[in-house]
Structure 1
Amino acid sequence: MWNPWRENLKDTPREVLNWRLWFGVFVFGLMGAARGIDEGLIGTTAELDPFIRKFGLDDPHKSKHQKAELLSNITSMVQMGSILGALIAFVLTDKIGRLWATRQLCLVWVAGISIFLASSATGSIGMIYAGRFIAGVGIGQTTVVAPTYLAETAPRAIRGLCVCAFAGAVYIGIMLAYFASWGSSIHISSKTDTQWLVPNSMHLMFAGIIFTLSFFARESPRWLIKVGRHEEAAKNLSLLRQLPEDHPYVASEIIDINAQLDREREATMGTSWLGPVRELFATKANIYRIQLSIMSQLLSQWSGANSITIYAPQYFEMMGTTGQREKLFATAIFGLVKFISSILCAFVLIDWIGRKRALTSGITLQLFSMLYMAIFLFIDHNVKDTEEQSPSQKRAAMGAIVMIYFSGFGWALGWNSIQYLLNSEIYPLRLRALGGSVAMTFHFVNQYGNSKAVPLMFLGMTHGGTMLFFSAVTAIGLGWVWFFLPETTGKSLEAMDEMFNLPWHLIGRKGAALTKGHGGVADAIDAGHEKAVAAQLEDAQASTTVHPNQKV
């Protein structure tokens, strides 16, 4: 049977791939649906007649610019709240742990959505803004908490798959949201607010499921070691791996985590609570990491794919798809395409062909699609208002619609997976939550700017000009990936330091090759050097002081 992970898994004990691992992947991966549900619902909700009437999206007394401002305010308010959520996530994640941070964010998420849904009784646009902002505070935390937990608990051979479960769940949420809006437009009367309230109740369902299941998950062993709970960490890691605590695979992982923490403590001894923040900007290696985080978010969010996700019905209308139900159906199929492609990427490509190749392939496909749409909109910019099209116009318009689907495939294969996976891998344990928080803050700042700007860009730059702008950013991203992005496939989290200590101009192009075989005890075991490592394990276990009550 064909198995793309066979080479990666050849040194991984079979017991490691057990139900506890997959349960954790399911629970924390499912948090990706928080963002997906919102992105899929808000754009399609704004196409439903009861919502349009209730909140004045078609008010004849408003200008086109005012309507665009109102729509952008409604859609972008979750991103605004998510900026705050991402900023506070690293404090909560490190202070109360990955599990309690998850439960807390679910409660905030539910509180915000409850206010949003209650606005149907009052028609208050202020409640829409407030509810969506509060929900955003919870949703924004998911992008730090979930990838951090998944990266810390996954075996390195399939770490890409496990973290990409979060990215894949984004499209589960998007797909279900699109179909829910389409279904409600068919089966629920457009004369009642129920038409938009029912699909938006999905937020409450998913938050409840994640909150409940979190009580059956195990806390991250790496976080437990960080806060000095060594015995509990060893027990949890043993349970997650389904191996005895003294098994070389488990023991080597514990030793590598302790060794990295010892180095970090020594480097930051005597520093205040601001120590991690200073450390993040104190070395060339960490500055390079920050550059990767910031640029990956900047280039991915302004490549245009996220605006297509949020404003998908409007994009299909640009390409000639008219009628509310037709637009919502085309949008639902778009969600299905993105879901399938994200699953393909997570389960096959990320750990098989590598992060860099997957991202390069996705960006190339996205660039080709965006350029086609830009050229089409420049040539036939009145397509949505044309009642009778020539055969060539119809074929060109159909090609543009297909390119929307191709762009979604390229995004799911490339940027969508990497923007979460990269930031969960590259930072040392002491800085992992902080680095992820910085990355996700930039993520939501740019997403907010994008979702806020796109309706106005359509007016000021025209549709074709907007797509050309996105194409240019996508092309820049392709060059940046080739030069700056290192290949991290197969490397342990504790072995990344070796690569980032190389000269900056070598990290992206040659870092993986130059540090092949370098790293900690676990890397040596994976390389098949069991005998050579046996003495190292014994010495390390004897020299590593384990204090159950030790605090970092």
Structure 2
Amino acid sequence: MSLFNKFRSSTNPDGSKKQFRWRVSTSNDPPEIYNWTLYMSVLIFGILGSARGYDEGCISGTKTQKSFIHQFGLKDPTKTEDELATLKSNITSMVQLGSIGGSLMAIYFVDRFGRIRTLQGVCAFWVVAAIIQITSKTVGQLYAGRLLEGFSIGQTVVCGPTYLSEVAPKSIRGLCTCIFAGTVYFGIMLAYFANYGTALHVSNTSNLQWIAPTSIKIVLAGLLFIGSVFFCIESPRWLIKVGKHEQAVKNLSKIRNLPVDHPYILSEIADVNEQVQQLEKASESHSMWNILVEFFTIKSLRYRLFLGIGIQILGQWSGANAITIYAPEFFAMVGKAKSTDQLMMTAILGVVKLTSAYLCAFFVVDFLGRRKSLYIGITIQLVSTLYFAIYLTLVPQAAEDHVDLTLSQKAAGRGAMAMIYMSGVGWTMGWNSIQYLINSEIFPLRSRNIATSVIMVFHFANQYANSKATPHMLLAMSNYGAFYFFFTVLAIGISWCWFFVPEVAGRSLESMEELFNLPWYLIGRRGAKLCPDHTEITRVHYHGEKEGAARISISDKGEVTHFEGADSDSIDQESFHSKHSGDVHV
């Protein structure tokens, strides 16, 4: 027998929209669920995003370091301009190529060993890959180290968002998952400043100029490994998926900082159990092949896969990835000829992206919702890209050394530089947040990991293609032509998102099935209104401990057997009995 806090229905009978406020409303949740156990777990898995970001930022600056250029022949006079572009793109994109394999590996590892063990394995492998790179004397060894690093990074983008979406309370799930997206830019910023620092203070003839920034990968991996051992609790949803129900309840109790027989815990566990049982009834097989087949044979899963892949393709070809990796070259196009100036401007870009990513996470994605955040971000990126393309069209000579520009051209150049920064702001608000967040939210527990892995394969395949293609696009299409191409992709993207991407902010993970069973042409535009969240977790609202609060009895088998003292505003007893009796394991 345990005392319940008083709860009330969270649904608005009149269907009215929630009023906008610069703070997520958590007044209906028990205050205990926002606690340091949750925050530390979110922090460790969130920082995992810096693995991908640090590499992108590190290689962006490293390939402009004179010692690196000399070591690996990036200005070899015996090679043609096209051969040098190929060499540069190979070094840059080798991690993306390996990440394709890493995302496929995650299909097995994340579900077989759990989210925490996978993170620890990733960190160990990352250290080995970094050591291979910093000891490289030839391009072949460098390729090998970067390819192996990709195997680790490919798993981080599956493991991190999956875990974060599974442990976060639904009202702040966007924020928690965007912690991961934001630390991508923490990694980028850290790498940019590491490269800038060694460019200023280490001799151009010393390999330490590029070895020191690369070595920081070992430090990041070690800190993440240690943090996961001491501060992280395994995902309760994964434990239920593998049949460890008792441990799942204990872990959820720790993460939510509530007793195991608290109604919030019971409701959340009941919702997960119900979804698992429904999916098991629908399909007897648990094989990976059978789940992959379901993506093509089940309408709701097919739409979700289409949504995830579409976001990856449009986001990766919007030009943001090209700017992140080739930022020093783009700053050179607006008149920053000195390499140290390019690295300084690139470092500032890292600060801008990090700041905007977290402003979006804390003040936009859970407040305005996924769709509005996406529209605003893409629009900012679109306008910025168009301005930069027009500038390169009108002032192509700005990229040349020792050229005299007029005052108006210099002013336009400063505007173009600002547009690079604004493009980063738009990217972090739009495509970058949604590309991790939506995948981890919309798929059912049974196929969440496999679906995220498959979508991340497309993520890295397109990122690899983009990294390889950008140097050649700048040669074949001219500098401005490449940016007009990115502008076109962004224009298509904003229309595509308006029609296909639904609003899922504030919904429980277990409520997505009903939404995606709507006709395909209604899901994006009207899905949230037509299918509100009716899961049990939305039926319980916290109003503090009051006299007359409900009491509940739990049998030895974990069945809900008796309510007493519940008034008309408490949990619907009959519904809770009929729906969840026997489902909740305590």
TM-score by length of 1: 0.96
Offset of residue 321 of structure 1: 1.0
Among 292, 299, 302, which residue is 1:284 paired with? 299
C-alpha distance after superposition, 1:461-485 (max 9, x if no partner): 1000000000000110000110000
- Name the residue aligned to 1:186: 200
Instruction: Kindly report which structure 2 residues correspond to 1:74-89, keeping only aligned pairs within 5 A, or say none.
Output: 74-89=91-106
C-alpha distance after superposition, 1:70-99 (max 9, x if no partner): 000000000000000011102111111111
Among 428, 453, 457, which residue is 2:444 paired with? 428
Among 95, 99, 104, which residue is 2:112 paired with? 95
Distance 2:80 2:327 in 1: 22
- Name the residue aligned to 1:306: 321
Distance 1:487 1:10 in 2: 22
Distance 1:494 1:6 in 2: 20
Instruction: Kindly report which structure 2 residues correspond to 1:87-126, keeping only aligned pairs within 5 A, or say none.
Output: 87-119=104-136, 123-126=137-140
Instruction: Kindly report which structure 2 residues correspond to 1:525-544, keeping only aligned pairs within 5 A, or say none.
Output: 525-526=540-541, 531-544=570-583
Percent of matched pairs sharing the same residue: 48
Offset of residue 4 of structure 1: 2.3
- Name the residue aligned to 2:383: 368
Distance 1:150 1:51 in 2: 37
Gaps of 5+ in 1: none
4+ runs deviating over 4 angstroms: 270-273, 526-530
C-alpha distance after superposition, 1:389-433 (max 9, x if no partner): 111110111110010000000001111110000000000000100
Decide whether the 8 Å contact of 1:51 with 1:196 is kept in 2. Answer: yes
Letter in 1 for 2:570: K
Offset of residue 541 of structure 1: 4.5
Decide whether the 8 Å contact of 2:134 with 2:211 is kept in 1. Answer: yes
Letter in 1 for 2:99: S
Distance 2:129 2:346 in 1: 26
Among 257, 272, 284, which residue is 1:269 paired with? 284
Decide whether the 8 Å contact of 1:103 with 1:211 is kept in 2. Answer: yes
Distance 2:48 2:413 in 1: 36
Match status 1:351 vs 2:390: no
Instruction: Kindly report which structure 2 residues correspond to 1:82-231, keeping only aligned pairs within 5 A, or say none.
Output: 82-119=99-136, 123-216=137-230, 217-231=232-246
Distance 1:538 1:79 in 2: 50
Instruction: Kindly report which structure 2 residues correspond to 1:19-34, keeping only aligned pairs within 5 A, or say none.
Output: 19-34=36-51
Decide whether the 8 Å contact of 2:33 with 2:257 is kept in 1. Answer: yes
Offset of residue 5 of structure 1: 2.8
Offset of residue 534 of structure 1: 3.4
Q: Does the C-alpha gap of structure 1 residues 97 and 314 become closer, same or farther in structure 2, counting only changes over 3 Å?
A: same
Distance 1:51 1:20 in 2: 43
Among 408, 422, 426, which residue is 1:410 paired with? 426
Instruction: Kindly report which structure 2 residues correspond to 1:367-386, keeping only aligned pairs within 5 A, or say none.
Output: 367-385=382-400
Offset of residue 32 of structure 1: 0.4
Gaps of 5+ in 2: 1-19, 544-567
Decide whether the 8 Å contact of 1:494 with 1:519 is kept in 2. Answer: no
Compare 534-543 and 124-133 and name the one that shifted more.
534-543
Compare 524-533 and 385-394 and name the one that shifted more.
524-533
Among 295, 299, 302, which residue is 2:310 paired with? 295
Offset of residue 280 of structure 1: 2.0
Match status 1:457 vs 2:473: yes
Decide whether the 8 Å contact of 1:280 with 1:431 is kept in 2. Answer: no
Offset of residue 527 of structure 1: 10
Letter in 1 for 2:182: G
Decide whether the 8 Å contact of 2:269 with 2:584 is kept in 1. Answer: no
- Name the residue aligned to 1:509: 525
Q: Does the C-alpha gap of structure 1 residues 64 and 526 become closer, same or farther in structure 2, counting only changes over 3 Å?
A: farther
Match status 1:53 vs 2:70: yes
- Name the residue aligned to 2:15: none
Offset of residue 535 of structure 1: 3.5
Distance 1:519 1:229 in 2: 26
Q: Does the C-alpha gap of structure 1 residues 530 and 231 become closer, same or farther in structure 2, counting only changes over 3 Å?
A: farther
- Name the residue aligned to 1:243: 258
- Name the residue aligned to 2:13: none
Letter in 2 for 1:309: T
C-alpha distance after superposition, 1:249-301 (max 9, x if no partner): 11100000000000011011146442211222221111100111110000000
> SS in structure 2 opposite 1:149?
helix
Among 518, 522, 534, which residue is 2:537 paired with? 522
Structure in which a larger fraction of residues adopt helix? 1
C-alpha distance after superposition, 1:338-380 (max 9, x if no partner): 0000010111100011010001000000000000111111111
Distance 1:18 1:28 in 2: 16
Distance 1:362 1:273 in 2: 36
CA radius of gyration, larger in: 2
Decide whether the 8 Å contact of 2:30 with 2:542 is kept in 1. Answer: no
Instruction: Kindly report which structure 2 residues correspond to 1:55-74, keeping only aligned pairs within 5 A, or say none.
Output: 55-74=72-91
Decide whether the 8 Å contact of 1:80 with 1:445 is kept in 2. Answer: yes
Distance 1:453 1:490 in 2: 39
Decide whether the 8 Å contact of 2:46 with 2:180 is kept in 1. Answer: yes
Letter in 2 for 1:504: W
- Name the residue aligned to 1:489: 505
Compare 144-153 and 190-199 and name the one that shifted more.
190-199
- Name the residue aligned to 2:483: 467
Compare 374-383 and 533-542 and name the one that shifted more.
533-542
Match status 1:322 vs 2:337: yes
Distance 2:288 2:438 in 1: 26
Among 49, 55, 59, which residue is 1:42 paired with? 59
> SS in structure 1 opposite 2:364?
helix
Compare 103-112 and 77-86 and name the one that shifted more.
103-112
Distance 2:386 2:505 in 1: 31
Decide whether the 8 Å contact of 2:27 with 2:542 is kept in 1. Answer: no
C-alpha distance after superposition, 1:36-92 (max 9, x if no partner): 100000010001010000000011111111110000000000000000001110211
- Name the residue aligned to 2:560: none
TM-score by length of 2: 0.90
Decide whether the 8 Å contact of 2:29 with 2:542 is kept in 1. Answer: no
Distance 2:102 2:292 in 1: 18
Offset of residue 532 of structure 1: 4.3
Distance 2:516 2:192 in 1: 41
> SS in structure 2 opposite 1:281?
helix
Decide whether the 8 Å contact of 1:498 with 1:519 is kept in 2. Answer: no
C-alpha distance after superposition, 1:286-335 (max 9, x if no partner): 11001111100000000001110011100100111110110000000010
